[in-house]
Amino acid sequence: MKEMSEHLEVCPRCGATGTDFLNIESGMRLALQSTEDGEALPSKVCGSCYSELAGKVSKGMKLRLEEQAKARNRQIMWKSRVNLIKQARQLMQQKSYSEAAVSYEKYIRVLEIAHDVEKGQLSPEVFNKSIRSKELTVVATAYWDLMRIYDTSSNYRDRMKTAATKLAQFLPYSPIFPDVVRRAESFLKTAKNPDIVKMFLKMCRKNRPRCFVATSVFKAPCSEEIFYLRLFRDKFLKKYMWGRRIICFYYQRSPQWVFFLEKKPVLKKIIKGCLLFFVGCLKCYFKRPDRSPLGHSHKINGVNIYK
């Protein structure tokens, strides 16, 4: 009896005594560490603990496989969005509006899943730190077509209102803003739900972008170049009467200039070069801490804006 007690071991994990202890192999240890259990693992444990740990490994592997499958599905769906947009536009040309609406709605749903947001909660903010920011214009065109499609039937009035609201959210972030607003003003004359179109135009007037030409040239309304040009407007031009007059004149004329520049790619490149040079000068000016709009900090969300 004394000899048996001398051979008994205590499980370092649960404290149970026994003789048949099992070693935790390196592969199992690595798998357990990846489950983020945070438990310090001994070199060997009793049979009961070993079974429990093996179950954790199986559960962890299952969760990882599920996450990998979700990631693959999202990637596949993201790639499918191009075909959905092409299909929707072809159907619009064929005047198959119901089918086009279905394709557009599927496209928007793909974006919601890709950006991990609830249905109906897609917003421009989810694109802020994404390489997919150019998608904003595509989203705006989708909502523009949906708004017109849903206007064809009184049964879809609520859907039209939703599309109009979403369009007003996305449109200010796209260089097609003035063109769509102009078309909406014409559409107002024939729309079956003119009150919704008026609501859309009112929202656009409230949220309209200001740097039309610069946004058209640099494509991204939240780019570093736009940041400095707006800084020049707010910190310098607005201080003087003549500067405020220039701003008003620019706001009045810039939509027409945008349309003109779209037809003149060479001139657009020249203007872009001039603006880049001017932005470079602004960077040097605002780089001094006493002139920095951020005080002595040159960072926004941890990113050096002068880099």
Query: Are residues 258 and 273 both part of a single domain?
Result: yes
- Per-residue pLDDT at 33: 66
* Separation CA 186–CA 20 (nearest Å): 84
- H/E stretch holding 46 reads strand 44-46
Query: Are residues 176 and 75 both part of a single domain?
Result: yes
Query: Are residues 197 and 103 both part of a single domain?
Result: yes
What is the extent of the structural domain holding 273?
214-304
- Per-residue pLDDT at 251: 72
pLDDT above 90: percentage of residues in the chain: 23
Whether residue 6 has pLDDT greater than 70: no
Query: Are residues 24 and 151 both part of a single domain?
Result: no
- Per-residue pLDDT at 284: 81
Q: Which residue has the tokens 């709009």?
A: 293
Query: Are residues 74 and 206 both part of a single domain?
Result: yes
Average pLDDT, the chain: 77
- Per-residue pLDDT at 219: 63
| Cβ proximity of 221 and 215 under 8 Å | yes
Query: Are residues 52 and 92 both part of a single domain?
Result: no
Three-state SS for 288? coil
pLDDT confidence band for 156 (50 / 70 / 90): very high
Between these two residues, 259 and 301, which has the higher pLDDT value? 259
Answer positive or negative: Cα dihedral of 210, 211, 213, 219: negative
Provide Rg for the chain, Cα atoms. 30
Query: Are residues 26 and 76 both part of a single domain?
Result: no
Q: What angle do CA 223, 227, 233 make, to 5 degrees?
A: 145
Answer positive or negative: Cα dihedral of 250, 255, 260, 266: positive
Q: Count how many domains the chain has.
A: 3
Whether residue 197 has pLDDT greater than 80: yes
pLDDT digits (tens, 9 = 90+) for 221-267: 556 677 678 778 878 888 889 988 888 888 777 766 776 777 788 88
Query: Are residues 137 and 28 both part of a single domain?
Result: no
pLDDT digits (tens, 9 = 90+) for 54-70: 777 666 565 665 676 67
Q: Does 65 map to a domain?
A: no
Q: Does 64 map to a domain?
A: no
Query: Are residues 193 and 261 both part of a single domain?
Result: no
- H/E stretch holding 69 reads helix 47-93
- The residue count of the chain comes to 307
Query: Are residues 179 and 95 both part of a single domain?
Result: yes
Q: How many CA atoms within 13 Å lie on the side-chain side of 139?
A: 26
Q: How many CA atoms within 13 Å lie on the side-chain side of 249?
A: 7
